Amino acid sequence: MPPTSRDDAGLPSGPREGNVTYGDFGGAFGVLPDISLLEFCLGKALSRCSPLGPGELAGELAHWFESSVRVSALQAPLKSLADRGWAALGTEGWSLLDRGHGELSHFDRALTRMFGVDNLVGELAILMKLIKVLERSGS
């Protein structure tokens, strides 16, 4: 079994009561932020190039998913990122804040482990596998 695999349907081994803690997420030890795929993708787009306006973000996501993305569909997830203190709207558009970079790095590492990629050559490998998984699942 690879070192990332666990028995009990993917649950980590250890105590069955309380929290199993692997890292520090957002200052609350052991609490993993619950973000949507759209919030993750917006954060990744902003981590590559910012500031970006909503139209530019919609265009980037449309390119990644080969599907049209409505600018209005980005309002709630962008607000969620801002409410978490991960992103901010400035005069030139949305930017990812230092806290957002740090928090998204946890998800990058998790995706690397989930897909069994030991040496990540680039974020593209993870995103392409994620897109293929989503296509197969019909999401």
Centre a 10 Å sphere on the Cβ of residue 41 and count the other Cβ atoms it contains: 21
What pLDDT sits at residue 126? 73
Which is it for strands 87-90 and 93-96: parallel, antiparallel or unpaired?
antiparallel
- Strands 24-25 and 28-29, how do they pair? antiparallel
Measure the CA–CA gap between 23 and 29, rounded to whole angstroms.
7
| This prediction's pTM | 0.63
pLDDT of residue 18: 52
Domain ranges of the chain: 34-137
Q: 34-137: what fold?
A: Arc Repressor Mutant, subunit A (1.10.10)
Phi-psi region of 95 (alpha: psi -120 to 50; beta: other; left: phi over 0): beta
Q: Digits of tens for pLDDT over the chain (139 positions)?
A: 444 444 444 444 444 445 444 444 444 445 677 788 899 999 999 998 889 999 999 999 999 999 999 999 999 999 999 999 999 999 999 999 999 988 888 888 777 777 665 555 666 777 777 888 787 776 5
